[in-house]
Structure 1
Amino acid sequence: MMGCMSSPDPAAELAAIFAVDVAAADPTGCATVLGATRRLRGFIDQVEAGVTRRMIELHEQQGAAPAADVHAQTGGVSSAEGKRKERRSKTLDEAPSFEDALGAGEIGAEHVDALANATAKLDDDVKNQLLDREADLLDDAMRLSPEEFGRSVRDLARVIERDNGIERATRQRKSTFLSRKTNTATELVEGRFAFHPELASKVFGPVDRHVSTLIKEGAAAGDPECVDRSVDRNRLAAEALGELVASGNQHLHPGTGDVTVIADATALVTGEISDDTVCETGDGNAVPPAAVSRMICNGQVTPILVDADRVPLAAGRTVRHANRAQRRALRAMYRTCGFGDCDVAFDRCEMHHIVPWEHGGSTDLDNLIPLCSRHHHVVHEGGWTLELTDDRTLTVRQPDGQVFTVSEPDVPPQRRRRRTVDEQEPAPERVRERQPAA
């Protein structure tokens, strides 16, 4: 059922698509096609949700085939995708304004799926309280990427849970497990796991860092997969985990384990949680203040001082490569790759010089940004340019000078939205700009 948002005209959107010769299209033409495709896809997704809703009714009332099975058999999708479509339809029943926005092309199906995933295992009372804020949730969905929106919903649910006295950390620990079995066909030992955030940070932080070490060592030895960065990181992660467990993290990485936690002083001192509280691991998983206090008691603390916008005020320097203190400072600002909406985790990124080292650039925080391997190649080999302002607003320009995206650090808990070109503010006086590599 449609509300105040108008549905796109499918015929008009198709006409806009067919009017462009994609094979010869310029960037504007490609953007036109993608925009029309997005609106048309939203319309189709809304129709599909309505059909799914009817199939659910037929299954419940007349014993017809489950909606997910019908999708798998007639829609050419996997069983998992069929279940996802069924779950999406049920979520739209619970949040009808999202269906209107989906049909109007204001949000995508991924936003609805993010809401479904974030609410799937909530207690009924918590879920109802969260959906009471449907208008605010929709506003967030319309301005955030699906990943950011899902994180925002989970953060809100955590606040509601704590307000209701639910000990999420206790439930996470009770749900933590690690199991394995041998596949008789392949003779591979296969496993399943679910780790609470504190344990996951302890396990996967060292694994990700050791994978980077293995890639560097392989590149130095001339391994072609490591040189061109086509190596399977998941395979290396398994090797890294085995080496860390067999040899001991202390042997491979002398010194204490490095676990990054971003927390505000108020939460640590009082243990109280509010809408503005920051208390999470470096990769964005929430942990209770008590767990942070325990880690502080059991380890050495390297504080990073930040201002009101959480921009580090003090951190170390090095000659060419970012040192550990600088990586920690950047991790306090970025959960993921700094390039637009890229969701590659920080620990899988490389520290990139905005002004290249070979062109006189310094290894200072205001000249460093985390980039994943793919976007690092785009910048160095594709002739793209980056501009970074004092407040760490990043402007990415294509080789022809056109602005591709403008983004800000993924700073918790303020989930800053990506800004369109029309919304850009006047450029500050000082902007560091990277020139295309020669």
Structure 2
Amino acid sequence: MNSPPDAAYAEVRDTDPDTLDSGELDTYLRRVAELRAWCDARQVRATRRQRALAAEGRATDPRHSLASHGRQSSKEAAAATERERVCTTMPGFEDALTDGVVSAGHVDAVANATKNLSEGEQAEFAGRADDLVADAGRQGVDAFARNCRELARGIRAHHNARSDVDELEQQRQQSTITRWVDRQTGMHKTLIECDPITDRQIWAGIQRERGKLRNRCRQNGTKPSWERLTVDALVEAVSGPTGGSRGSLVVHVDLATLTEGRHTETLSETDSGVAVPVETMRRVACDADIIPVVLDGEGVVLDHGRAKRLATAEQRTAIEAMQATCSHPDCTVTIDDCRIHHLRPWHRGGRTDLADLAPVCEPHHHLVHEGGWTLTMTPDRVATWTRPDGEMHWTGTVNDRRVSALAS
């Protein structure tokens, strides 16, 4: 397509969004997205031309031009140049961007996943371009980005058996803690940058203490915000009676990977969905308590009916084996920061059974309780979100532990 999507442009130009209902707004936003994608595709072509002119000494670097004349930040300009690299290597993405089938975010996901790959690894990644473009057209940016990272990790492991381990060791060496005071607000800030294994141990300790504090608050009738509760839990974790003890590390791994190593459908990630090198996982397993979780199987008692008000630790572990994030389709909040929500309120006869429990973040928890939205879920984790006006907003599986087809 060499000309603008005229129909989309005319609809956006001639429509007043202030007069639209929900369904009409959805259509309107799709038209806006088509126009934005078309403009991003034109910017790709302009960046490519700028790069060619710069190589001949007839223009400045594309990033300078994008920042100066494209009115972009240095970070946005750098992203745009990487976007051009992807489209030049995989022209199908440029065509899909021009046609509004994918967004710049999808192209950026490819750029981010491949920027640290070797030339040979990037070539192998590009060999999957047709499948990637098709997946990008069906998936949101967050899900597609995760699949791209998994594909890149699998390719890197194929070329270098120690690549994941080396990456983790590099992250360990680069871990830092920075403290400073915001002079305007007086708030003290602490930034911790660490590898995924250390992060999971930190947050396991915070989760443990947060659960204790929540029970204590219920008993004394107080109701602090989730953020305040998390801060207090962090303080308890480092300075309370159990301070200094290391939290549990929960990693989900399939049996074949644990016993035989990486394969085409390997699953090896923390409970919040962060990938863990297979060799690290197997080393940790040597000294770990391994709890097999067979969904719909027998073993640990997962259903408690009306006997218990809150989800048990075993139930949360089982839910984490299926979901890494909030149950809302547009939410990427990890299960760490989610409440375990009764699909049918407990005070209205709901049961504390696995099929009646779902993780939701704080904002979406309020959306259900105070906002009038309805969340239902089948035993096989197909969720349905319904708006207060009774219209279905979304339905689909929330079992995001399934191995992506891109990783095969």
TM-score normalized by structure 2?
Answer: 0.86
Amino acid at match of 1:76: R
**Paired residue for 1:315, among 282, 302, 309?**
302
Residue of structure 1 in register with 2:362 after alignment: 373
1:245 maps to 2:242: no
Say which SS state the counterpart of residue 62 (structure 1) adopts: coil
1:278 maps to 2:267: yes
Say which SS state the counterpart of residue 411 (structure 1) adopts: coil
1:119 maps to 2:114: yes
**Paired residue for 2:91, among 96, 109, 132?**
96
Taking a change above 3 Å as real, the CA distance of residues 311 and 31 of structure 1, as seen in their structure-2 partners, is farther
Query: Aligned ranges for residues 27-42 of structure 1 at < 5 Å?
Result: 27-42=22-37
Residue of structure 1 in register with 2:8 after alignment: 13
1:258 maps to 2:248: yes
**Paired residue for 1:267, among 242, 257, 264?**
257
The C-alpha deviation readout for 1:258-314, integer Å capped at 9, x for no partner, is 2211111111112x211212121112222234433333332333332126xx99996
Aligned equivalents of 1:121, 1:213: Cα separation in 2: 42
Is the CA contact (8 Å cut-off) linking 1:311 and 1:391 kept in structure 2? Answer: no
Aligned equivalents of 2:10, 2:49: Cα separation in 1: 30
Taking a change above 3 Å as real, the CA distance of residues 8 and 173 of structure 1, as seen in their structure-2 partners, is same
Say which SS state the counterpart of residue 12 (structure 1) adopts: helix
Query: Aligned ranges for residues 2-81 of structure 1 at < 5 Å?
Result: 6=1, 9-62=4-57, 64-81=59-76
Aligned equivalents of 2:221, 2:13: Cα separation in 1: 48
Q: CA RMSD in A?
A: 3.2
1:107 maps to 2:122: no
Aligned equivalents of 1:175, 1:77: Cα separation in 2: 30
Shift of 1:363: 0.8
The C-alpha deviation readout for 1:355-381, integer Å capped at 9, x for no partner, is 111221101110111111111111111
**Paired residue for 2:176, among 179, 188, 191?**
179
Give the length in aligned residue pairs. 399
Residue of structure 2 in register with 1:145 after alignment: 140
Shift of 1:353: 1.0
1:154 maps to 2:153: no
**Paired residue for 1:164, among 159, 165, 172?**
159
Q: Compare 341-350 and 59-68 and name the one that shifted more.
A: 59-68
Shift of 1:212: 6.8
Amino acid at match of 1:203: I
Is the CA contact (8 Å cut-off) linking 2:300 and 2:314 kept in structure 1? Answer: no
Is the CA contact (8 Å cut-off) linking 1:141 and 1:149 kept in structure 2? Answer: yes
Say which SS state the counterpart of residue 262 (structure 1) adopts: strand
Residue of structure 2 in register with 1:426 after alignment: none
Aligned equivalents of 2:221, 2:84: Cα separation in 1: 51
Aligned equivalents of 1:118, 1:71: Cα separation in 2: 23
Aligned equivalents of 1:361, 1:222: Cα separation in 2: 22
Shift of 1:200: 2.5
Is the CA contact (8 Å cut-off) linking 1:316 and 1:325 kept in structure 2? Answer: no
Shift of 1:244: 2.9
Aligned equivalents of 1:349, 1:79: Cα separation in 2: 34
Amino acid at match of 2:356: N
Taking a change above 3 Å as real, the CA distance of residues 269 and 329 of structure 1, as seen in their structure-2 partners, is same
Is the CA contact (8 Å cut-off) linking 1:20 and 1:29 kept in structure 2? Answer: no
Aligned equivalents of 1:312, 1:151: Cα separation in 2: 32
Residue of structure 1 in register with 2:388 after alignment: 399
1:291 maps to 2:284: no
Query: Aligned ranges for residues 425-436 of structure 1 at < 5 Å?
Result: none
Is the CA contact (8 Å cut-off) linking 1:8 and 1:43 kept in structure 2? Answer: no
Taking a change above 3 Å as real, the CA distance of residues 8 and 336 of structure 1, as seen in their structure-2 partners, is farther
Say which SS state the counterpart of residue 370 (structure 2) adopts: helix
Say which SS state the counterpart of residue 385 (structure 2) adopts: strand
Q: Compare 369-378 and 150-159 and name the one that shifted more.
A: 150-159
Residue of structure 2 in register with 1:436 after alignment: none
Aligned equivalents of 1:339, 1:398: Cα separation in 2: 12
Taking a change above 3 Å as real, the CA distance of residues 375 and 92 of structure 1, as seen in their structure-2 partners, is same
Shift of 1:80: 1.1
Amino acid at match of 1:60: A
Structure 2 gaps of 5+ residues are none
Say which SS state the counterpart of residue 394 (structure 2) adopts: strand
The C-alpha deviation readout for 1:83-109, integer Å capped at 9, x for no partner, is 111111112111110011111111111
TM-score normalized by structure 1?
Answer: 0.81
Shift of 1:135: 0.8
**Paired residue for 2:377, among 384, 388, 409?**
388
Aligned equivalents of 1:218, 1:77: Cα separation in 2: 47
Aligned equivalents of 2:347, 2:3: Cα separation in 1: 51
Amino acid at match of 1:35: R
Aligned equivalents of 1:282, 1:333: Cα separation in 2: 9
Amino acid at match of 1:348: D
Residue of structure 1 in register with 2:321 after alignment: 332
Amino acid at match of 1:131: A
Residue of structure 2 in register with 1:432 after alignment: none
Aligned equivalents of 1:159, 1:55: Cα separation in 2: 34
Amino acid at match of 1:31: D
Taking a change above 3 Å as real, the CA distance of residues 174 and 18 of structure 1, as seen in their structure-2 partners, is closer
Shift of 1:345: 0.5
Shift of 1:245: 3.5
Amino acid at match of 2:142: E
Aligned equivalents of 2:346, 2:182: Cα separation in 1: 51
Aligned equivalents of 1:211, 1:361: Cα separation in 2: 24
Shift of 1:204: 3.1
Aligned equivalents of 1:413, 1:154: Cα separation in 2: 15
Amino acid at match of 2:147: S
Taking a change above 3 Å as real, the CA distance of residues 150 and 16 of structure 1, as seen in their structure-2 partners, is same
Shift of 1:404: 0.6
